Structure formats: C-alpha cells, structure tokens
Structure 1
Amino acid sequence: MALLAAIGSGSVIVPDGCDVETRYHCAAVVTDPENASGRTLVLDGLRHSYVDLNDPTHLQFRYVKAYAAAVDAAFPDGRPIEAHHIGGGGLTMPRYLSATRPGSRNTVSEIDQGVVDIDQQHLAAELGDDLQVRVEDGRLGLDALPAGSRDLVVGDAFGGVSVPWHLTTVEAVEKIHRALRPHGVYALNVIDRGPLAFARAEVATLMTTFDHVALASYPGALAGDGSGGNLVVLASDAPLDTSAWAAQMTSRDVGWSVIAGDDLRAWVGDAPVLTDDFAPVDQLLTPY
C-alpha cells in the first residue's frame, strides 16, 4: 500500500501564494499581526502550526493547549518525558515539552523534508539530542521505536483535514501501543464535524487496544449539535484522570468538555472499528 502522510491541523485561511513549494505542500509562514514573534505555518491553505519564536511555551491553538493539559494531568509537573510525535508541522509540542520539562527527549516522524527545512530556516527550530526529526512516513516510523520506550505518543498527521487512513487502523494503533510504557499516553488530534462518524470510529478503534479512552472537544460537538472542528482523544492502559485534564484545560481557557467511560461508549454507539482491510476514512468524514 502507498504510505503518504502530510502534517498538522488547523482552520482554513488563504495565504498570499507560497513561500516554498515543498514535495508535498504549498507552504507559507505568516507573521501574527498581534505578536511580532508569532508565526503561523500554512500548508495548502490550512493553518497547521503556530510558533512563538521567543516563547516556546506560548500555545495558540485550542487543540494544542488540550495536548499540553493532558500531559500535565498525566505526568508529574516538570518531569522529563520521552515522546514521539507522528507529524511535525512547526514542532510546537516538542518545543513546548523541551521548554517546560527540561531533559525531555522528542523524536518526530515528518514525511516532508521541505517542512523540516522551513522549521529550521524560518521557525527557529534547533534540532539535537532532545529534538530529533526523521524524514519518514509516520507509520513506518513506529516500527523503528523500541517496545516500551515512550511515555507519550502524539498523533497530529494530516492530509488536508483528514488523518491518513493507514494511521487510523487497529494495526497502526497496536504499533503505538507497543511503543508506549505501561503508564504511557497516546494523544490524537482528530478533525470532524456533523455526525462525527469518523471521530466515533476512531474512538471505537482505540477502545479495542487501550484499557482507557477519553475524548475532549467543544461541548456542542459532543452533544451532537452538528458543529465540529478539532477533537483530542487520549488513550492509555493506565487510568486517565479526566477531572485533572478538564481542570488543566479550564486553566488554559480552552473551553472544552471531556467524556469517558459509559458516556463515551454510548457516544461511540455502533461505530465501526477501522482496520487495514476496512478504513473508509474519507467516506466517514463530514467535509467542510
């Protein structure tokens, strides 16, 4: 099968042309008019990452704040962790972890060398022992991770607004599960709207492998009002402190709610489990 994965996620904007034509993207870096050191990485008209060149702890997108809230809820404050990131974008989360948890080590699978070049040349990324980027497909990169070697895996790989199907399946999830330590957490960004059929299927898929799963997003989206956008899913074999996660998001003014347990199982309903033989991601997604 062909294994292709573009990176990142965000809302739609229209850039004034491309700063760089990479192998996969029309890429632009846009300065934040309200923050002189703020930069937005735009790939094919989508805002994929926000980076503050002077402050790696500044998180702009709500779903990235939800990631940070999940990390602080799951791991003791300031403790170094070992993380793997499926999708690089502007390397916002790896840089955040390095800044807030000194001694943390981050590896990143990013398929587009052009994006890595932009990170270094325009977004002040400094690669080294604590931040290693591998130009590779995200799923193939999982095979190179030693079993039980990561505290955290972050899934943030997108082609447009769709997660590449081969990263959504039970087989892919099992590779992530293998790489995590017993207390480890998989944090996944999903974009969907309307009936959220893809989001429900992805949660159902995670539930086949992990003992504990929780979901956060806009309260209206989870209540079925037809809205949508980003949803963040956490999965772990260790119990997830959803109250702490919600409190951390509140402190960051995210404004999202969390569901887990029986409420999440009821929300998932009879959604299909995605496999390498059956992963109709494009058909399940509600288009924007």
Structure 2
Amino acid sequence: MSKQRRNQKQSALNIEPGIYEIDSGTAEIQPDPFTPGAYLLLVNGVQSSQLIPDEPQRLGFEYMRWIAIALGFRYPREARLRFMHLGGGGATLARWGADRYPNSRHTTVEYDAKLTELARENFGLPRSPIVKMRVGEAGQVLSETRPDSWDVIIRDVFVNIAQGNHITPGHLTGIEAAETAAQAVGHHGAYVINYGGPPNLQPARAEAAALAHAFEHVTVISDATMFKGRRRGNIVMIGTQTELAAEQLGGMGGFEAALRSEPLPVQAKYNAATTNFIAGTAPSTTPLLLTDPV
C-alpha cells in the first residue's frame, strides 16, 4: 500500500472524549448515544460533527449524506477533485471525500484555530496534501479565490446566537458570494451550501435566489416537512452550470431514487421546481466582504 493510501486510511483511535477550550468557547467530544462506536463533536453545546472511526463513508448527519449522494452522481470515483470546505469543524466531509475520491485534495477553512488543532489531533484525518487545514474567515478566503481554482466548494458555516441557535453569517449568503463561488468552481464544478434555519423559509428562498443569479442550475434538497415550513432543519442547495447528476452515473432519475431510499426520504427540487421554490423572492445582496466577519 502506498504512503498516500496509508495516510487516507489513518485510524481515528486517538479520540479523547472530554471538554476542550477553544478560541470561541468550548468544544466537547462525547460518545454518540445513538450510534455505537461513534463520537460527536459539540461546539458551544451545538452538535457540529459526527465521527465513526475507520468508516469515513458512514455519515450520521442527514444533510452530509445528501451532499455525498449528490456528489456521487456528479463525479466518478477516479476524478481528481479539488475541494474547499468553508467551515472546518471536525472535517467530517473532508475525511469522507478523501476516502470516496482517492485522487482528491481538500482544504478546510475554520475561523477557530484551537478547534482546527483539536480536529487534527483527535479525528485521524489524512495528512497534507490530502487534507490541508487552514485557519481563516470563510468570507475572506472565498473572496481571494481565483477562477477555476476548485472543483467543489462546500459551505457549512454557522455562528452561535442566543439560546443555542446558530445562523450563517450574512456576508456568505448574498449574490456576491454566489458569483465568487461560481467563478472559483468554473463550468464543471459545484457550489454546495448547507442551509440551516427556522420553519419560515423566506431566508432559504433568498439564498436559492442568490444562487440562481450565479448558476444555470440550482438543486434544492430536503424532506417534505421542511419544505412545507413545519420545522427547523437543513436544506442542501447546490449550484452548478450543468445539470447536477451525470447521465453516465445514473442521471437525475438515479439521484432522486437514492434520495428516496434514505431512512427519512427526501426530495430534490430542480429546474421548474426550483423556480417555484424561489417564487419571486428577492435574493440576498449582503456584500461578501464586511469589516466585521460575523
């Protein structure tokens, strides 16, 4: 086995449950009470990542599985992909991507330096250059990207607000951020957003509208209850310049079937369905760069 493959298969046996001081407060690593052998990373009391040692392709969080399904129908396993993960956390998706796409390279961007160090020391991540971990503010890093410099950008950035709720900083949600990401991933790339919000879907529609300004195709993924505005939850939005799923990998029909086979079946809105979801909503226009990064 090559050195590269050994790095990619590195075990996470050095996990140490406990509470750790980080720059933004506290992080806690604890056994997952619902998944034997798995661990959770909580940041200031909010679940951030799940890790299943030695099984990087097992993703416990629903929205991460939706992302994995979508990318699996767009890119073959042998693709040489360059990923940028805005929002490092426990680097679960970088760990997944390094295993799913053996020829890929990943850069995580995390504002909290001590959290980045904690993830690197505890979660058995592949070493650089397979997974690089960068400390920085996501909007600033995104603004500095060059055209066609990445194949996939995944935005999973939240800041904590009152009562344990969290939101994505506004400067990452507007047209300017979407247009910058579109230039960075080019014609064949994908810009993936994990949106988390309340039953009021107006902010989600505004984000989808911003994506529609920058991308020819916007695919929106969630479950029926979330789409009906009945609960707080996650919506995955993906901007691409070509149809999301490649025909040779199963096309949109195979992609939708895979989503329906999830433990909680989910839906994908695209083309006319995305237009109806946006329904004339004005896109977010917050500038990408602000004096205050939050």
What residue in structure 2 maps to residue 199 of structure 1?
A: 204
Letter in 2 for 1:202: E
Q: Matches of 1:33 and 1:195 in 2, distance apart? A: 31
TM-score, normalised by the number of residues in structure 2: 0.83
Q: Which moved more, 1:155-164 or 1:73-82?
A: 73-82
What residue in structure 2 maps to residue 75 of structure 1?
A: 75
What residue in structure 1 maps to residue 41 of structure 2?
A: 41
Letter in 1 for 2:265: G
What residue in structure 2 maps to residue 137 of structure 1?
A: 137
TM-score, normalised by the number of residues in structure 1: 0.85
Q: Matches of 1:104 and 1:69 in 2, distance apart? A: 17
- Which of residues 270, 274, 277 in structure 2 aligns to 1:267? 277
Q: Does the residue aligned with 1:183 lie in a helix, a strand or coil?
A: coil
- Which of residues 252, 267, 273 in structure 2 aligns to 1:257? 267
Tell me the CA shift for residue 36 of structure 1. Answer: 5.2
Tell me the CA shift for residue 251 of structure 1. Answer: 4.3
- Which stretches of structure 1, 4 residues or longer, exceed 4 Å deviation after superposition? none
User: Are residues 154 and 277 of structure 1, via their aligned partners in 2, closer, same or farther at CA, if it must alter by over 3 Å?
Assistant: closer
Check whether the contact 2:87–2:110 (CA below 8 A) recurs between aligned residues.
Answer: yes
Tell me the CA shift for residue 267 of structure 1. Answer: 1.9
Q: Matches of 1:202 and 1:169 in 2, distance apart? A: 7
- Which of residues 237, 240, 245 in structure 1 aligns to 2:244? 240
Tell me the CA shift for residue 254 of structure 1. Answer: 4.7
Q: Matches of 1:25 and 1:124 in 2, distance apart? A: 23
Q: Does the residue aligned with 2:275 lie in a helix, a strand or coil?
A: helix
Tell me the CA shift for residue 169 of structure 1. Answer: 1.1
Check whether the contact 1:189–1:233 (CA below 8 A) recurs between aligned residues.
Answer: yes
User: Are residues 253 and 77 of structure 1, via their aligned partners in 2, closer, same or farther at CA, if it must alter by over 3 Å?
Assistant: farther
User: Are positions 1:227 and 2:237 aligned together?
Assistant: no
What residue in structure 1 maps to residue 11 of structure 2?
A: none
Q: Matches of 1:270 and 1:208 in 2, distance apart? A: 12
Check whether the contact 1:63–1:231 (CA below 8 A) recurs between aligned residues.
Answer: yes
Q: Which moved more, 1:229-238 or 1:77-86?
A: 77-86
Q: Matches of 1:69 and 1:162 in 2, distance apart? A: 25
Letter in 2 for 1:174: E
Check whether the contact 2:197–2:204 (CA below 8 A) recurs between aligned residues.
Answer: yes
What residue in structure 2 maps to residue 180 of structure 1?
A: 185
What residue in structure 2 maps to residue 211 of structure 1?
A: 216
Q: Matches of 1:218 and 1:19 in 2, distance apart? A: 33
Q: Matches of 1:199 and 1:40 in 2, distance apart? A: 27
Deviation string for 1:176-220 (max 9, x for gaps)?
111103111111100123231110110011111111001010112
**Structure 2 gaps, min length 5:** 1-17, 161-165, 246-251, 289-294
% of aligned pairs identical? 25
User: Are positions 1:190 and 2:182 aligned together?
Assistant: no
Equivalent residue runs for 1:38-187 within 5 Å: 38-160=38-160, 161-187=166-192
Deviation string for 1:63-90 (max 9, x for gaps)?
0000100110111244331111111111
Check whether the contact 1:87–1:155 (CA below 8 A) recurs between aligned residues.
Answer: yes
What is the aligned residue count? 261
Q: Matches of 1:225 and 1:119 in 2, distance apart? A: 34
Deviation string for 1:215-240 (max 9, x for gaps)?
01011221x25223011001111112
Deviation string for 1:113-153 (max 9, x for gaps)?
11111112222224310111110001111234331022111
**Structure 1 gaps, min length 5:** 1-17, 279-288
User: Are residues 65 and 87 of structure 1, via their aligned partners in 2, closer, same or farther at CA, if it must alter by over 3 Å?
Assistant: same
Letter in 2 for 1:164: P
Letter in 1 for 2:271: G
Tell me the CA shift for residue 249 of structure 1. Answer: 2.6
Q: Does the residue aligned with 1:150 lie in a helix, a strand or coil?
A: coil
